[in-house]
């Protein structure tokens, strides 16, 4: 298999719903942050990629046809270089509404004593143990690398908008779909050249779902 769809949109723009939708359209399966819970060994691979080290792409994406969400979002150019035939989807959202959602979810990754306690509890709760590599990559690649540990509203929105503009300028227009998940199936299916399903467009990873995973 090879990666055919790359999601360059930032977390809380509907990347989890996009993952489910793309899989339903036949591009199965799709890599997302939750995949780190299934493959904790991938944590170091992503760190190596961030550091510019050579990685085993076949090992990272074995069995996958799509990749989106963190950490793909930050490293979409590296994936484009590796998979030049892949199409890129930039999921968008109004910056203010995006920040409202992000500030209550992905920007509240546990750290310090809270994270230490989660590690202890995870010894007795396997489901919580799956969350730990997601947090580690989220903090390293998202908080430290992308936001430079500055989570002020002004800075976070600025980086969000800069990223979106960079994607627009980087990806060839014929390979890029600028998309809001509220648009549903039609533009997505046209872009990927597949029929429109009869079922409703999926909606998942709400704020409540996100918080629930961290509290298991």
* Residue range 11-35, pLDDT digits in tens: 999 999 999 999 999 998 999 998 9
Residue 210: is its pLDDT beyond 70? no
**85 is written with which tokens?**
């035939």
- Burial environment of residue 200 by CB neighbours within 10 A (0 to 12, 13 to 18, 19 or more): exposed
Domains of the chain by residue range: 5-214
Residue 69: is its pLDDT beyond 90? yes
| Per-residue pLDDT, 206 | 52
Helix or strand holding residue 30 (H, E): strand 30-31
What percentage of the chain has pLDDT greater than the value 70?
A: 94
Residue of higher predicted confidence among 108 and 92: 92
| Per-residue pLDDT, 205 | 56
Q: Which residues contact 44 (CB under 8 A, 6 or more apart)?
A: none
β-bridge mates for residue 7, sequence order: 89
| Per-residue pLDDT, 207 | 46
Residue of higher predicted confidence among 116 and 57: 57
HEC sequence for 49-89:
HHCCCCCCHHHHCCCCCEECCCCCCCCHHHHHHHCCCCEEE
Homologous superfamily (CATH) for 5-214: P-loop containing nucleotide triphosphate hydrolases (3.40.50.300)
Average pLDDT over residues 114-142: 88
Residue 167: is its pLDDT beyond 60? yes
* Residue range 100-123, pLDDT digits in tens: 999 988 898 888 888 888 888 888
| Per-residue pLDDT, 108 | 87
| Per-residue pLDDT, 115 | 84
Which one-letter DSSP state was computed for residue 140?
I
Closest CA to 173 of 106, 60, 87: 87
Contact 106, 213 (CB under 8 A): no
């Amino acid at each position: 298999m090879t990666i055919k769809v790359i999601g360059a949109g930032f977390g809380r723009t509907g990347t989890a719903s996009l993952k489910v939708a793309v899989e339903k359209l036949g591009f199965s399966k799709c890599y997302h942050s939750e995949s780190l819970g299934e493959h904790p060994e991938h944590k170091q691979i992503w760190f190596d990629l961030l550091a510019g080290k050579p990685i085993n792409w076949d090992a990272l994406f074995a069995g996958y046809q799509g990749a989106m969400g963190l950490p793909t979002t930050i490293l979409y150019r590296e994936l484009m270089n590796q998979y030049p035939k892949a199409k890129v989807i930039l999921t968008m959202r109004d910056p203010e509404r995006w920040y409202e959602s992000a500030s209550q979810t992905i920007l509240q990754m546990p750290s310090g004593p809270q994270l230490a306690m989660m590690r202890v509890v995870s010894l007795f709760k396997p489901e919580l143990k799956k969350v730990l590599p997601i947090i580690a990559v989220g903090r390293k690649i998202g908080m430290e690398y992308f936001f430079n540990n500055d989570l002020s509203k002004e800075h976070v929105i600025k980086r969000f908008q800069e990223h979106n503009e960079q994607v627009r300028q980087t990806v060839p227009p014929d390979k890029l779909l600028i998309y809001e998940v509220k648009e549903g199936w039609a533009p997505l299916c046209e872009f990927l050249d597949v029929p429109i399903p009869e079922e409703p467009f999926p909606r998942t990873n709400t704020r409540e779902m996100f918080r629930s995973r961290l509290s298991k």
